[in-house]
């Protein structure tokens, strides 16, 4: 396929044209290079090429503010498209939206150019369900849910995905159903993690290792798969799980239905950065230190392991809490852009792990990137405070690694461990 990527942000387009990927995604740079080199992929700020396309995919941001969808990016994109659509084209919306937006917002805006959806052009909603850091692998393996404006639109979208990606197609009987598929996925994930986080809090007071409990609990079958309790952590961040459940909640509220599980799960997950700060304070106290006297080395500031993405990262409230308590905080994240870290966190990040770790009373591993495996805390032991404690926000160190830390004089505390 010949692909044209259109974005209003000239800096993002220029960055891609210079062969730079903003996010760490295995295999993505190679795909970008081969697309640009072969001429099959072009990136531009110009909407002009839309008229030549057979299929137009909309994937603009759909943030939420005060539980309501901020739809101006979506509206602007549809308005730009409206005047350029021609007969026979297929438009696919991939941005996550509340149920009804494809039909009630996108379709009328696209029709404002004079063509009629279902007659002159097709429209389908196909949710984007990939997770950052595994996106290409999941793209090649995950089924694609398709909901069409009409049967012809649905058939055209299914044929397009079959030809381009070739994965299984899940036929939804309406666009609203496909919109809900995406929201149900993220509602489930956020809810599941909230349960894992509360399980971790309980395991901590029972002096039981939450990972052992989860691993064993997940061994029985239930429904069509296994029990699948996800992992507790320093918190839930990123641009999707922090907003999509609110889309669900608002969609229900607007129809006179109150959903209890969404706010509860959000509250639990939002409590985790504060819980992590409390763990650090407790462990420092155990070692006879107060937060105000301590240097904390934070390793990993991204919202999840193996990405450099700082959007809604739960590490930010942790760092803020530590600094408010008077601690000196050094941060290190080899995957995050140092200028962005400085902007978001208000501190210049350390250039190397040893620089961040020097003199540390506490090492807080809050995103555990694979390359951190090369940092040997034990080998650097002399450069840290004698009572240094490791607080594990999502590294999920093995029992062997924890025993080794302890043999070399480190304290260790994990979320629920
Ligand atoms: N990031 C993920 O992992 C992920 C996963 C699943 C679903 N989604 C969904 O995909 C959508 C996009 O997410 P994202 O993380 O890429 O958002 P983003 O904000 O990082 O990127 C959106 C891009 O759209 C561009 N844009 C805004 N208005 C435009 C317009 N009118 N015309 C052209 N470009 C425009 C912005 O400049 C930006 O580069 C959202 O609905 C999100 O919920 C994202």
Q: Pairing mode, if any, of strands 225-226 and 389-392?
A: unpaired
pLDDT surpassing 90 at residue 22? no
- Closest ligand 1 atom to residue 60 Cα is 24
Q: Which CATH number fits domain 266-414: 3.30.1370.30, 3.40.50.720, 3.90.1150.10, 3.40.30.10?
A: 3.40.50.720
Question: Of the candidates 42, 30, 32, 79, which has an alpha carbon nearest to the alpha carbon of residue 58?
Answer: 79
User: Which tens digits make up the pLDDT trace of 188-221?
Assistant: 999 999 999 999 999 999 999 999 999 999 999 9
pLDDT surpassing 90 at residue 329? yes
Best residue among 60, 72, 130, 181 to mutate for probing ligand 1, ranked by most atoms within 8 Å of CB: 60
Three-state SS for the chain is CCEEEECCCHHHHHHHHCCCCCCCCCCHHHHHHHHHHHCCEEEECCCHHHHHCCEEEECCCCCEECCEECCHHHHHHHHHHHCCCCCCCEEEECCCCCCCHHHHHHHHHHHCCCCCECCCEEEEECCCCCCCCCHHHHHHHCCEEEEECCHHHHHHHHHHHHHHCCCCEEEECCHHHHHHHHHHHHHHHHHHHHHHHHHHHHHHHHCCCHHHHHHHHCCCEECCEECCCCCCCCCCCCCCCCCHHHHHHHHHHCCCCCCCHHHHHHHHHHHHHHHHHHHHHHHHHHCCCCHHHCEEEEECCCCCCCCCCCCCCCHHHHHHHHHHCCCEEEEECCCCCHHHHHHHHCCCCCCCHHHHHCCCCEEEECCCCHHHHHCCCCCCHHHCCCCCEEEECCCCCCHHHHHHHHHCCCEEEECCC
Q: Which residues line ligand 1 (CB under 6 A)?
A: 6-9, 12, 59-62, 73, 76-77, 80, 95-96, 128, 130, 132, 239-240
Q: What is the pLDDT of residue 24?
A: 83
Q: Where are the domains of the chain?
A: 47-175, 266-414
Best residue among 59, 62, 76, 308 to mutate for probing ligand 1, ranked by most atoms within 8 Å of CB: 59
Q: What is the pLDDT of residue 161?
A: 98
What are the distances in angstroms from CA 242 to CA 237, 259, 285? 6, 16, 32
Name the closest-CA residue to atom 21, ligand 1: 61
- C-alpha 90 to ligand 1 mean position (Å): 20
Structure tokens at 406: 């302890």
- Closest ligand 1 atom to residue 6 Cα is 33
Residue length, the chain?
417
**Quick one: CA torsion of 393, 394, 396, 397, rounded to 10 degrees?**
-60
User: Which tens digits make up the pLDDT trace of 226-237?
Assistant: 999 999 999 999
- Residue 333 burial by CB count (10 A; 0-12/13-18/19+): exposed, middle or buried? buried
- C-alpha 351 to ligand 1 mean position (Å): 30
User: Which tens digits make up the pLDDT trace of 64-79?
Assistant: 999 999 999 999 999 9
Conformational region of residue 329, where left means phi above 0, alpha means psi within -120 to 50, and beta covers everything else: beta
Please give the CATH number for the structural domain made up of 47-175: 3.40.50.720
- C-alpha 130 to ligand 1 mean position (Å): 13
Angle at 314 between CA 212 and CA 352, to 5 degrees: 90
- C-alpha 95 to ligand 1 mean position (Å): 7
- C-alpha 404 to ligand 1 mean position (Å): 43
- C-alpha 164 to ligand 1 mean position (Å): 21
Mean pLDDT of the chain: 97
- C-alpha 238 to ligand 1 mean position (Å): 12
Q: 266-414: same fold as 47-175?
A: yes
User: Which tens digits make up the pLDDT trace of 218-273?
Assistant: 999 999 999 999 999 999 999 899 999 999 999 999 999 999 999 999 999 999 99
User: Which tens digits make up the pLDDT trace of 121-163?
Assistant: 999 999 999 999 999 999 999 999 999 999 999 999 999 999 9
Q: What is the pLDDT of residue 23?
A: 81
């Amino acid at each position: 396929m010949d692909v044209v990527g259109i974005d209003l942000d000239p800096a993002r387009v220029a960055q891609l044209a210079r062969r730079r990927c903003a996010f760490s995604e295995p295999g993505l740079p190679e795909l970008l290079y081969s697309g640009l080199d072969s001429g099959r992929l072009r990136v531009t700020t110009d909407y002009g090429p839309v008229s030549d396309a057979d299929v137009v995919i909309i994937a603009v941001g759909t943030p939420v503010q005060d539980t309501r969808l901020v739809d101006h990016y979506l509206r602007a994109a549809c308005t730009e498209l409206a005047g350029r659509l021609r007969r026979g084209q297929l438009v696919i919306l991939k941005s996550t939206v509340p149920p009804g937006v494809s039909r009630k917002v996108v379709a009328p805006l696209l029709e404002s150019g004079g063509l009629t959806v279902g007659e002159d052009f097709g429209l389908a909603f196909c949710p984007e369900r990939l997770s950052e850091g595994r996106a290409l692998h999941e793209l090649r393996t995950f089924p694609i849910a398709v909901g069409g404006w009409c049967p012809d639109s649905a058939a055209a979208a299914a044929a397009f995905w079959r030809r381009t990606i070739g994965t299984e197609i899940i036929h939804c009987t309406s666009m609203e159903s496909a919109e809900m598929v995406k929201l149900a996925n993220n509602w489930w994930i956020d809810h599941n993690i909230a349960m894992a986080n509360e399980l971790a809090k309980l395991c901590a007071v029972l002096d039981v290792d939450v990972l052992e409990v989860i691993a064993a609990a997940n061994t029985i079958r239930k429904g069509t798969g296994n029990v699948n309790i996800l992992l507790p952590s320093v918190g839930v961040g990123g641009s999707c799980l922090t907003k999509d459940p609110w889309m669900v909640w608002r969609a229900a509220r607007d129809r006179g239905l109150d959903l209890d599980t969404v706010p509860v799960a959000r509250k639990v997950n939002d409590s985790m950065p504060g819980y992590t700060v409390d763990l650090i304070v407790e462990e420092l106290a155990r070692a006879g230190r107060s937060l105000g006297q301590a240097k904390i080395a934070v390793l990993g500031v991204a919202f999840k392991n193996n990405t450099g993405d700082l959007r809604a990262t739960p590490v930010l409230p942790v760092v803020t809490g530590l600094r408010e308590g008077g601690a000196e905080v050094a941060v290190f994240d080899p995957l995050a852009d140092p200028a962005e870290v400085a902007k978001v966190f208000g501190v210049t990040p350390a250039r190397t792990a040893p620089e961040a770790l020097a003199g540390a009373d506490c090492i807080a591993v809050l995103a555990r990137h694979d390359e951190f495996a090369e940092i040997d805390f034990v080998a650097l032991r002399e450069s840290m405070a004698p009572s240094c404690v490791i607080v594990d926000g999502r590294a999920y160190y093995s029992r062997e690694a924890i025993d080794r830390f302890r043999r070399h004089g480190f304290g260790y505390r994990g979320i629920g461990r």
